Chain A
Amino acid sequence: AQSVSQHNHHVILSEAASLELGCNYSYGGTVNLFWYVQYPGQHLQLLLKYFSGDPLVKGIKGFEAEFIKSKFSFNLRKPSVQWSDTAEYFCAVKGNNRLAFGKGNQVVVIP
């Protein structure tokens, strides 16, 4: 079964700083890749997804992620964060018809 690794569980940064969250997975076959976000007190919601095509994916709220197949990675980036980006971010990988989530990154943006 595939597994998903997210490093640096807690990230604290100031507004306007750049954010990059790493996501690595273990499955060697065809994958679909997702980033979900959970704002404080809210439900999990899809931030962006990769299914096929351009490996650089643009999502909502200025987020993007790049699929690098050779590195089994799907890192999430945002050039300039805002206080409202404070949330928990989960990477998920669908492979072999199973969806696996990472442990999440708790991101706190200080105004």
Chain B
Amino acid sequence: ETGVTQTPRHLVMGMTNKKSLKCEQHLGHNAMYWYKQSAKKPLELMFVYSLEERVENNSVPSRFSPECPNSSHLFLHLHTLQPEDSALYLCASSQDRLAVTYNEQFFGPGTRLTVL
């Protein structure tokens, strides 16, 4: 248990559905991250939030929409996804964002997403 929880753990959705992934951290951290983990590919950083402000968006398609209502919660809203978006989506948090100082990232267990 890392102090970072994600729900749901598994999600199957059609291409026309709208769903949301939730991440919650209980560590008092200031930065939160969304990653995409696909088979045989490096972890891809999608979004970075620092103190509830989005500070990084790595050319992610607009069908992925993040939301950070407070420093403990992070959402990823999904809309009209494609089958190639099927992957494990990982949330992580760190004390401060990487640009500030060395920070170990604590990862959640991930949401296994399948898009039909």
Q: Which of B12-20, B63-71, B76-84, B98-106 contacts A (4 or more CB under 8 A)?
A: B98-106
Write out the residue numbers on chain A whose beta carbons fall within 8 Å of the beta carbon of B99.
Answer: 97
Q: Summarize A's interface: helix, strand, loop or mixed.
A: strand
Task: Give A2 to B4 CA distance when docked, in angstroms.
Answer: 27
Task: Give A42 to B106 CA distance when docked, in angstroms.
Answer: 12
CB-based contact A43/B109 at 8 Å: yes
Q: Which of A4, A45, A97 contacts B2 (CB 8 A)?
A: A45
Residue of B whose beta carbon sits closest to that of A99: B98
Can you spell out 28 A-B residue pairs with CB atoms less than 8 angstroms apart?
A4-B42, A9-B40, A32-B102, A34-B104, A36-B107, A42-B109, A43-B2, A43-B4, A43-B107, A43-B108, A43-B109, A44-B92, A45-B2, A45-B107, A46-B104, A46-B105, A49-B104, A90-B43, A92-B43, A94-B98, A97-B99, A98-B98, A99-B98, A99-B105, A101-B42, A101-B43, A103-B40, A103-B41
Residue ranges of A at the interface with B (Cβ–Cβ < 8 Å): 4, 9, 32, 34, 36, 42-46, 49, 51, 90, 92, 94, 97-104
